[in-house]
Amino acid sequence: MRVLVTGGCGYIGSHTTVELLNAGHEVIIVDNLSNSQIEVLNRIRKITGKEVVFYQIDLLDKLALAEVFMNHRIDAVIHFAGMKAVGESVMIPLAYYHCNVAGTINLCELMTENNVKRLVFSSSATVYGIPDTVPVSESSPIRATNPYGRTKIMIEEILQDLYASDNEWSISLLRYFNPVGAHESGLIGEEPKGIPNNIMPFITQVAIKKIPELRIFGNDYPTNDGTGVRDYIHVVDLAQGHLKALSKIMNTSGVNAYNLGTGRGYSVLELVKAFEKATGCSIPYRFVERRPGDVAVSYADCHKAWNEMDWAAEKGIEDMCRDAWHWQQINTNGYATAID
């Protein structure tokens, strides 16, 4: 199968590309490299021994994107591309709406014109906002609390409308919880730009003493140790979830949302202790004020993904910590680190 992967050089996109290639699929990557590195392509080749076709294109450049569809007979699309930082989205909301929503519309218009009606969309658990109850199921209320999450809701609604207008479409909406970890080879992983927004690269950079200490936002939540509880999922499990979704959309029609998580929550302090145990590193930390909009507890109900896609996360918190640390040790300067 020939699969177009938008944002395929990014953290989740690169891991999914590896799984696609290992499963025998052909991959075409479109990425503007605004939040990723061209070196990722070399690492993917080292892991898989296979080539990918790459275009440095922004989805907002519809003419350039149209050439990709002209040059290749595409069977399905996995759509990761977009801006993704919650805090940044509050500061520059128009940029997020323009990039994420307009870029997706361009993509879907070209898919329609070229009769490509199979799509896996990278959504997010942020669509749920502050949940009333946990675990969070796909039927929980949708009410994001920031522009990033609202772009995901808007795109989900656009895709619902697209299917309503043409029942030949088959679309999976994958709502991720908290991806962490890295490929076991240590060749690809999460490389944030500047100060990390996500907790695991923050922890690993503290471990290599690039950052002096971990800041934990809040220790007065109604949880066992006062810190926030989240559902962390290994990025390779997440990538394999995309292959399951791809298989499903090739044989069905309709629009279906799926939570991708482990179904278990860990507090920030539990994650820190698990990392210390898995790596032998000591992680200094200090508590700071809560961030606006952060919830006390959020973890997924993943039964729908198991029942309908035959998918469940297999890797535990120790695997997540060990693989994230392995990536950081090998790549002290991220993708700028020379690899033999």
- Which residues are annotated as catalytic? 148
- Residue 217: in which H helix or E strand, if any? strand 214-217
Q: How many CB atoms lie within 10 A of CB 209?
A: 9
Q: Which of 103, 45, 98, 97 is nearest to 77 (CA)?
A: 103
The Cα–Cα gap between 265 and 12 comes to 21
Under DSSP, is residue 86 helix (H, G, I), strand (E, B) or coil?
Answer: helix
Give the phi and the psi of residue 283 in degrees, each rounded to 5.
-115, 100
- Kind plus residue range of the DSSP H or E element containing 56: none
Nearest CA to 15 among 34, 139, 33, 36? 36
Dihedral of alpha carbons 60, 61, 62, 66, sign: negative
- Per-residue CA distances from 291 to 215, 217, 283 (Å): 11, 6, 21
How many Å apart are CA 79 and CA 97, to the nearest integer?
16
Q: Dihedral, CA atoms, 288, 294, 295, 299, nearest 10 degrees?
A: -100
Element (H, E) at 54: strand 53-55
> Cα dihedral angle (220, 223, 227, 229), rounded to 10 degrees?
-140
Q: Detail the DSSP E strand segments found in 218-316.
A: 229-230, 232-234, 254-260, 266-267, 285-288, 297-298
DSSP secondary structure, 317-328, as one string:
HHHHHHHHHHHH
Q: How far apart are the first and last CA of the chain?
A: 31
